[in-house]
Each structure stands twice: as structure tokens, then as C-alpha cells.
Amino acid sequence: MRLARRYNLAQLVVRCVLQELNNLFKDSQPSEEAQAPLVSLSPDRQQRSRRGLLELAGVIRCSTGRSALAYMAYGCYCGLGGQGWPRDQTDWCCHKHDCCYEQAEYGGCQTKTDNYQWTCEDHVADCDSLNDRCEKILCHCDREAARCLRKAPFIRKYALWPDFFCGCDHPTCNYY
């Protein structure tokens, strides 16, 4: 009896989360075929500071017209951290963004704490007036990810994709 109750409670929680995501999708996307997430529910995925996440969320909203929350826990790379093989074009956009941030960190930039000023011009993040090297790099990474997400289809089955389905094999950043 207890096991059945726990299972029913878990089903209820999953249904509520999925309903909330559906509401986000309805409110924030031009079509069902054009989305992707940016935060993982996995506890071992590395967390980024709120400040850096806000810039990325804003750039995504500017480019796609959708909330960055629509990309939460999508596939294996959209969200914080990433592992395994990207599931689709949207997930590849997130993998490429992770690689861009990795290069920025290698170059001495603090991707978790650095922020930058930008404006939205014709659905493109404009950060050409930035003078700081790291701010320019981070804005470039975020802008390219948002452009990629705008073009990529959103496949609902990859929303809230469990990390254990991602596996261990993963592409290197040399792919780009």
C-alpha cells in the first residue's frame, strides 16, 4: 500500500511539473518545433551563478522570443553541466555553448561570475560596444547559442530528459 501511494505521489509530481512546462511552452514559444532548456535537475551538474545565468536567459529571450526556462533539463547538455551524447540539434546547440564557455575559461574568463551589458536589436543580442575581452567572449558564446536554439527544433520527448539516459560517451569540443 505504501509503495502504491509513493508511486502515485511521484506520478502526481511528474504530472504537475510537466503541466508547468507545458504552460511555459504555450506562453513562451512561437511554435512547438522551435525550443530547448538551460537548467538541469541533476544534483551533480555544476551550478552557475545567478548573474551569468540572467544574461544567458535574456539573450535567449531576445533571440528566440521564448523563456530560457523552456530549455530547462532538455536533452543531455541544455542546463547546467552536461554528459553523454547530445540527443538532437537543440542539444547540440547547448553542447557547443558548453564548449565555448570551456574555451573562455581556458582563456582566463570567469564564466560563472562575469557579466556583461548588451541590448536586443532585431532579435540579436548586441554586445559590440563591449571593451572587456571576457565580456565580449561570453556575450559571443551566449549570442551564438541563442541563434542556434532559434533555428533548432524542440522535441518534447527530450524535455526533462533524465541524465542516466545520456550515457558516458561524449563528443569532444574539437568537433566544432
Q: Catalytic residue positions?
A: 97, 142
Do residues 173 and 103 touch, judged by C-beta distance below 8 A? yes
The annotated binding site is made up of 77, 79, 81, 98
Q: Which of 60-74, 86-100, 106-120 has the highest mean predicted lDDT (pLDDT)? A: 86-100
Break the chain into its structural domains and give their ranges.
Answer: 2-175
What is the C-alpha separation between 131 and 99, in angstroms, rounded? 23
Reported as a single tens digit per residue, the pLDDT across 77-101 is: 998 779 999 999 999 999 999 999 9
CATH fold, domain 2-175, is: Phospholipase A2 (1.20.90)
Residue found under cell 548588451: 118
Cβ burial, residue 76 (10 Å; 0-12/13-18/19+): buried
What cell numbers appear for 141 in the block?
558564446
pLDDT at residue 58, rounded to an integer: 95
The annotated binding site for Ca(2+) is made up of 77, 79, 81, 98
Task: Tell me the average pLDDT across 101-105.
Answer: 96
pLDDT at 68 over 50: yes
